[in-house]
Chains A and B, each alone.
Chain A
Amino acid sequence: MTKIFKHRLVLPIAALVALILVNTISRPSFVSITVRDGQLYGSVIDILRNSAPLMLVALGMTIVIATRGIDLSVGALMAVSGAVALTIIDGSGSPDSPATLGIAIAAGVTVTLIFGAWNGFLVSVLGIQPIIATLVLMLAGRGIALLITGGFITTVTSTPYKFMSQGYLLGLPFAFYVSVVAIVLVALIQRRTALGVLTESVGINPEASRLAGVRSRGIVWGAYAVSGLLAGFAGILYSSNIMAADANAAGQYIELDAILAVVLGGTSLMGGKFSIAGTVIGVFTIQTLKSTITFLGVPPAVSPLFMAMVVVIVVLVQSQRVRNGASKLWATVSSRKEAEVAR
C-alpha cells in the first residue's frame, strides 16, 4: 500500500482526479458520455480531443527539458505549420483531394522540422543557451506565419483536412488517436531503446556523458528537431480545428502550458529523469482545468487567478520539501495530542 503512495505518479494522478471530482460534484453531467450518431459525446471526449495539440507539444517539450533545455518556439512553430498548410490548400484547385492534403501537411511539418533543427543547431553546436536560442523563433516565427498568410486569417474548406481535428473514428475523435500514436511512438523510441537513458544522462551531466562516450551533441540536436516536428503536427491539428490559419492566436502561450504540463508530470526543469506518463497526465490536468473554468462558471476577470491558484496548490503538494515539512508538523501535532491524552 505504502509502495503505491510512494510512486512518483501518484500526486499528478491525484490532482487530475481531484479536478474531475470537483467538476462532477458541481455538475454530474461532466462525466456523462452519450452516443450521438455513432459518436461518443461529452465533456471528457471534448477534453481528449482538445488536448491533442498540447499533448504533441508537451511530448516534445519533455524530451527537450530532459536534455536540460527548453523550447519556447513551439507556439510560434504551430502558427507557421498551420499557415503553410492552409496557404497550400487555399491555393490549390482541389482542396478535397488526398494529394493536396498530403502535400500541405508534409510541407507544414517539414518547415517546422527544419526550424526545430535550427534551434538544435544553435543549442548543441553553437552552445547558445536554450532559452535565448529558441526565443529567436518564438518572436520571429509568428512574423513568418503572418508573412505567409499576408496578415489575414486564411480560411479554407477541405473535408479531409477538417476530419483530422473534428472527425471521428470508431466513435472517438480522430485527434485523440493522433495523441495516442504520438505518445506510443515517443515512449517506444525513448524507453525501448537506449535513447531515453542517453537523453537522461546528457541532462544529468553533459560533460560526464560526453567523456563516457555519449554523443550528446546529436541527442540534444535531435530533441529540438523532434520538438519542432511535433509542434508542426500540433499546428496542423489546431488549424484543422477551426479551419483557419490564425497566425496570432495559434498556439499562443502553449509553450508555457507545455512546460507546466511537463513539470506537473514530475519532470524536473533541471533536466535528467523524465516521465512521459507524467506529461500525459499533466496535459489532461491542464485541459481539464480549462474546462473547469467554463463548467464552474468562473467569471472571466478572475479566471487567470483561479488557474494560477490551482497550479500553485498542485505544485506545492508535489514539492518534496513542503511535504516533508507537513509530515513533520503533523508528527509534532499528533505527538503532542498523545502526550495530552497520556496526561
Chain B
Amino acid sequence: MKKKLIGGIAAAAALALAMTGCAGGGGGGDDELITVGFAQTGSESGWRSANTESMKAAFSEENGFELVFNAADNKIEAQIAAVRSFINQGVDAIVIAPIVEDGWDDVLTEAKEAGIPVILEDRTVTASDDLYAAWVGLDFRNEGVMAGQWAAETFGDTPTNLVVLEGTTGSAPANDRAEGFAEAIEGTAITTLDSQTGNFTRADGKTVMEGFLQKYGDTIDLVYAHNDDMALGAIDAIEAAGLVPGTDIQIVSIDAVKDGMLALIDGKINFIVECNPLLGDLAAGLVKDVLAGKDVEKKIYVEDQSFTPEQAAEVIDERLY
C-alpha cells in the first residue's frame, strides 16, 4: 500500500520533471540570451509570490535572460531534482531559493563540476561557501533583532508574557528570527510562555494561537509571529476569544506584505519588520557579473525597514507588494 503510493508519487514526479525538461530545452536555441534556471521554493505565502514576480521581471527577455522557472511546492527532493535537471539542460547559471539549509553539498558539487555558477537567494545553505558564487538575501537574524528591540523598548521592565508562532521547523528564517529576537529581549522582563510552529501559514497560525489562548487565557501580553500570515491567523483567534488584538494582546511580526500592512494600519498588529522580497534585480545583476568573471561579494544583505502603524499608513499606497 505505502510502497505503491511512494512509487506512484515518484513516477508522477518523474513525469512532471520530464515535462519541464522539454519546455526548457525547446526554447534554448537563442545564443544571445543567458539561460538561467531558477528553483523557487513554491508559492506558500504572499511574500513568496512577490519574490517570484520580482525574479520573473528581472530575468526577462528584455534584460537579456531566458528564465527556466521551477516551483518545488516546498518539497525538498523536488527542488534538488529541479536543480539537477537544470544542470543536465546545461543552463548558463542557476539561482536557488533553498527550502531548507541542509543537504545541498552533492548537488552544488555537481553544478560546480559542470561549470555552472550558482547564486543563492533568500534563504541560505549550510554547504561550504566555495560551492556557490554568491548569496543575496536578507539578514533574518537582524530582522529578529529589530522585532526584539521594539518589544524590549515597548515593554522593558514591565513583566510581559510572550508567545511565539515559529516558522517552518528547521528553515533558516525560523531559526534566525528566533535567535535574533531572543538575543534582543535578553535582560528584559519579557518571559516566553510558549513557542510552537505555525508553518508560516494562516491556518496553522490560527490553530496554534487558539491553543495558546486556551492554555494561558488572557495572561498573554505579546505575540511574536515569524511572518505576517501567521500573525493574521492569530488576529482571528484572538478576536474569537473575545480579546482585542493590538490592545489586549500586542502583536509584532515580520514580512510587511500587503494584508499585514493593512492590519498594522488598523492597529491590529503593533509593529512589522520588513522582509523585502524584491531581490530580482540584485540577483540578475549578480548573475551577469559572475558570468562576466567579475569578483562579487559572497554575501549581499538587503537593508530591511520597519514600520509602526503611522509609518505604514504613509507608505501603503506606493508599495509594490
Contact = CB atoms under 8 A, between A and B. Distances in A.
A30 interface: yes
Interface residues of B, number: 45
B85 interface: no
B214 A29 contact: yes
A294 B212 contact: yes
A29 B52 CA distance: 45
Contacts of A153: 45-46, 49, 202, 229
B214 A241 contact: no
Interface string B35-77: 0000000111110010010000000000000000000011000
Contacts of B233: 242
Q: Decide if the interface of chain B is mainly helix, strand, loop or mixed.
A: helix
Contacts of A27: 215
Given A139-B12, A244-B202, A249-B201, A50 B214 contact: no
A36 B52 CA distance: 44
Interface residues of A, number: 44
B320 interface: no
A320 B45 CA distance: 45
B207 interface: yes
Nearest to A72: B5
A136 B12 CA distance: 8
A25 interface: no
Given A166-B240, A269-B1, A291-B211, A300 B197 contact: yes
Contact of A295 (B195, B211, B242): B211
Contacts of A152: 43, 46, 49
A295 B214 contact: yes
A131 interface: yes
B169 A155 contact: no
Contacts of A295: 211, 214-215
A293 B199 CA distance: 14
Interface in A263-320: 269, 290-291, 293-295, 297, 300-301, 303
Given A139-B16, A238-B203, A241-B203, A300 B212 contact: no
A146 interface: yes
Interface string A34-50: 00110001110010001
Interface of A: 27, 29-30, 36-37, 41-43, 46, 50, 72, 129, 131-132, 135-136, 139, 142, 146, 151-153, 155, 166, 238, 241-244, 246-250, 269, 290-291, 293-295, 297, 300-301, 303
Closest 3 CB pairs of A and B: A294-B211, A300-B197, A249-B201
